[in-house]
Amino acid sequence: MADGPGPQTSKELEEFRSETRAWLEANCPALMRTPMGEDDAVWGGRDWKPKHPEQKQWLDAMASKGWTVPTWPTEYGGGGLSPQENTILQDELRRIKARPALMSFGIWMFGPVLLEYGNEAQKKKYLPQIARGEIRWCQGYSEPGAGSDLAGLQTKCEDKGDHYLINGQKVWTSYANEADWIFCLVRTDTKVKHEGISFILFDMTSPGVETRPIKLISGASPFCETFFTDVKVPKENLVGKLNGGWEIAKRLLMYERTSISAGGFGGGAGALPIEEIAKHYVGVEDGKLEDRDLRARIAAHKMYDKAFALTVRRAQEMAKAGDNVSHMASMFKVAAATMNQEKTELIVEAMGNRALGWSGDGFTKGEILAPRAMLRAKGNSIEGGTTEVNLNVVAKRVLGLRDHQ
C-alpha cells in the first residue's frame, strides 16, 4: 500500500485545523454547544421560526462558510472542502459538542443527486437555497400501492406542451406539511415499468397540492399522505431525462440508506445506556443485574451494538483508502434496524410496568418516551427500504445469488 503524496500536506491540514478551531470558537454560540432537546432540531425553510436567536446565528455563520454542506463546490453554496478537511471539520465540531446547524433531506439526499444528475441552471438555483436552509424539501416516493415495490408507482405526469400536469397520491412523505418543495417520482409512461418513471421538482404551494398528516402507532405524525390534483409544473423542473428517473431514484435511495444507517435511528429515551436503565429498574445483586436472563441478553445486544459501530468505522476507513463499500449500504440498513428495535425493546423490558404508560403524571417523561421509542423503531425495518428488500439486495448483488430462472 503505497503512501502517495496527498493533495494536501499534513502541515496544510494542521493549519486548517487550527483556523477551523479558532473560527468555531468565535462563531458557535454557547447555547449551540448544549445537548439538544426533542424539538431543537433546525430544519430551516420559508416558514421557519427559530426557537432561539442562536439557532439562526449559528446557521447563518455556518452557511456563510459553506459548511452546512462542506464538500459541495463553492459555486453552489458549498464549502469546497477536501475529504480530509471535512474529517477535520467534523472532528472539531464534535470536540465542542456543536449541534448540527441544519438538518435537511436536501443535504442528505436530494442535493447529492442533483449535483450528479441536474443541469447547470438547476444546480445554481436549488443547491445554494439548500445550503442556506432557505428551502425545506420533502421526498415524494412511496404510494399506497407501491411500498417495497417502488417502481410500481402510478402518480401520473402528462406532457401538456408548455407544462406538465400531475395527478396522483404519495404516502409516507416525511414532514410534507412543513416542506416548501418536493422532489418527486412520477409516471410519464404507463406502458413500461421502470423505464416510465421521471424525477421532477415542484413547489408545495402549487395549486392542487394537499397534505394530510398520518398518525403513527407511536402517537407522532412525522409523515403525510400527499395528494396532487391537476398540479401544473414548469417543464424545466424535470431532472435528468424524461423516463430516466429510475436511475436517479435508486441513487437517491442509496444516499437515504446510508444516511439512516450512519446516523443511527432516533433513540427516544436512549440517552442513558441500557444497563444503567436496567440497574435502576431491575436492581443489582453481587454487582450483577438481578435478572440474569435479561442481563445476558443486554450483554449480547451491547456486543452487537459495538460490532456494528466497529463495522461502520471499518467501512469509513476502507472508503477513505479508496475501496468501494457501496455493497455495505444494505447490510448497514438491516443491522441498524435490528439493533435499534432490539435496544428499544430491551429498554421497555428492563423498565417493566414503568414502560407501560402512554401519558399523564403517573410516569416520568423518560418513562413515557420509552414505549413510544420502541413503537417508533418498528418502522426502522420498513422505511428507506424494508429489511426484506435489503436482504434481497444483499443476496443478489453482494452474494450473487440469482432469481428463479
Partner 1 sequence: MFTLTEEHDMLRDAARAFVQEKMPTAHLRAVRESKPDGFDRALWKEMSDLGWAGILIPEEHGGAALGYVGMGLVLEECGRTLAPSPLHSTALVGASALILGGTAAQKAEWLPKIAAGEAVVALAIDESAHHAPEKIKLDAKGRALTGEKKYVADGHVADLLIVAARDGGAVTLFLVPARADGVTITPLKTLDSRGAADIAFNGAKAEPLGGPELVDQVLDRARIGLAAEMLGQATQAFETTSEYLKTRTQFGQLIGSFQALQHRAAKMFVELELTRSCVLAALAALDENRNDVAEHASLAKARAGETLHLVSNEMVQMHGGIGMTDAADPGLYLKRARVAEALYGSASYHRDRYAALNNF
By beta-carbon proximity to a copy of itself, the closer residue of 125 and 302 is 302
Start-to-end CA span in the chain (Å): 42
**Rounded Cα distance, 396 and 262, in Å:** 23
> Which of residues 3, 39, 47, 293 is near a copy of itself by CB under 8 A?
293
| Cell reading at 277 | 436503565
Instruction: Copy the grid coordinates of residue 308.
Output: 456494528
Choose, by CB under 8 A, the member of 219, 229, 230, 236 that binds partner 1.
219
Contacts with a copy of itself: how many residues (CB under 8 A)?
4
Catalytic annotation present for 256: yes
271, 231 in Cβ contact below 8 A?
no
Among 133, 140, 268, 371, binds partner 1 (CB under 8 A): 371
Q: Which stretch binds partner 1 (CB under 8 A): 21-29, 55-63, 113-121, 333-341?
A: 333-341
Contact flags string 373-392 toward partner 1, x per CB under 8 A = -xx--xx-xxx--xxx--xx
Residues 236-295 that bind partner 1 (CB under 8 A): 275-276, 278-279, 281-284, 287-289, 291-295
The alpha-helical segments, DSSP class H, found in 264-327 are 274-282, 292-320
Scanning 106-114, 136-144, 275-283, 293-301 for contacts with a copy of itself by CB under 8 A, the matching segment is 293-301
Those residues with Cβ within 8 angstroms of residue 387's Cβ, 6 or more apart along the chain or in another chain: 333, 334, 337, 338, 381
User: Dihedral (C-alpha) 303, 308, 310, 314: value to the nearest 10 degrees?
Assistant: 150
360 contacts partner 1 (rule: CB under 8 A): yes
Q: What are 259-263's contacts with CB under 8 Å, separation 24+?
A: 259/108, 259/109, 260/333, 260/336, 260/380, 260/383, 260/384, 261/312, 261/329, 261/332, 261/333, 261/335, 261/336, 262/312, 262/332
CB closer to a copy of itself out of 41 and 151: 151
Residue closer to partner 1 (CB basis): 271 or 310: 310
One of 296, 303, 309, 318 touching a copy of itself (CB under 8 A): 296
Q: Cβ–Cβ contacts within 10 Å for residue 83, how many?
A: 13
Shortest Å, Cβ 307 to partner 1: 4
Catalytic residue selected from 85, 143, 178, 256: 256
The H or E element that residue 263 is part of is helix 245-263
Closest separation in Å from C-beta 291 to a copy of itself: 10
Q: Which residues of 206-238 are buried (b: 16+ CB within 10 A; e: fewer)?
A: beebebebeeeebeeebbbbbbbeebebeeebb
Least distance between a copy of itself and beta carbon 296 (Å): 4
Binding of a copy of itself at residue 38 (CB under 8 A)? no
Residue type, 271: A
303 near a copy of itself (CB under 8 A): no
Contacting partner 1 within 17-46 (CB under 8 A): none
Task: Compute φ and ψ for 104, nearest 5 degrees.
Answer: -170, 130
Q: Which is nearer to partner 1, 41 or 391 (CB)?
A: 391
**Per CB under 8 A, 396 contacts a copy of itself:** no
Site map (CB under 8 A) of a copy of itself, residues 244-263, x = contact: --------------------
Pick from 292, 313, 314, 397 the residue near a copy of itself by CB under 8 A. Answer: 292
Residue 256 DSSP label: H
Backbone phi, psi, residue 238, to 5°: -70, 130
> Is 398 among the residues that bind partner 1 (CB under 8 A)?
yes
Nearest to 131 by CA among 54, 203, 180, 66: 66
Residue 378 CB, nearest approach to a copy of itself (Å): 23
Catalytic residue numbers, as ranges: 256
Binding site for a copy of itself (CB under 8 A): 292-293, 295-296
